[in-house]
Structure 1
């Protein structure tokens, strides 16, 4: 009877290990693809007074860095093209890091899918480790949190 129990126990343990490996591989394969940016932050710790700073602090955010210029270099058919992105602030709240863009009178953000994509997607793709982008409208005293998600995420939250 001892041989029968030992064999059954080995089959059971082997089955559990195979199941766990299968589940691990399944979740790894379904994990969304993310870009990893080699462009790091060089914090600007001198925070200038601005209505957006007051609004962010009142909402519980800690300002980590003031305005940053992110240089970008593109190579197109052997020609080097230079550009840059500007980040107004980097803030943290509940251990999450957010990039901040403030409203501009000359550059109003169109609150449609294509408008948000055009203006904010580069930041979300360049720094996927950030929890999102905060859009601060100082005229309205409003902060909007924008995060890149998928329809699958929305479908799961509906249940």
Structure 2
């Protein structure tokens, strides 16, 4: 009878191991693929004098790049469609990089969740290692730091 109980115990341990192995494998397979951009910064180190640069420096940021054009291409049913995304400045503070977008009179930013998503999410997804986006209105002297957080991390 001792051999039978040993075999049952081994079978139970194997079944539990297979169950947890299966769950771990399913969890690993269903894990979302992290979005990482292969698009790197090509810094434009010639920084032109502008009130926006002065405003950033007064807020403690160091401007490390002037305006950048990020070329984009989308393949749709075999056809390639081209576009581009513009970054006004790249600034650093505390060892973190920030993308800077300046206010445009013809394209005002809608200060709602959907407005921010529509206008700023492409920047945050292309460069997920950046600390955030700085929205800057030099005419009004306004500077806002915008970061993407998980919805359950909402600050009250």
Aligned residue for 2:118? 118
1:85 and 2:85 equivalent?
A: yes
Unaligned runs of 5+ in 1: 1-24
TM-superposed deviation, 1:34 = 3.6
CA distance in 1, matches of 2:63, 2:126: 20
**CA 32–98 in structure 1, closer or farther in 2 if over 3 Å, else same:** farther
Q: Is the 8 A contact 1:34 1:128 kept in 2?
A: no
Root-mean-square deviation (Å): 1.8
TM-superposed deviation, 1:150 = 1.1
Aligned residue for 1:76? 76
TM-superposed deviation, 1:121 = 0.4
Normalised by the length of structure 1, the TM-score is 0.76
Aligned residue for 2:136? 136
Aligned residue for 1:56? 56
Aligned residue for 1:151? 151
Give SS of 2:85's match: strand
Normalised by the length of structure 2, the TM-score is 0.77
Q: Count how many residue pairs are aligned between Structure 1 and Structure 2.
A: 128
Whichever of the two has the greater Rg, that structure is 2
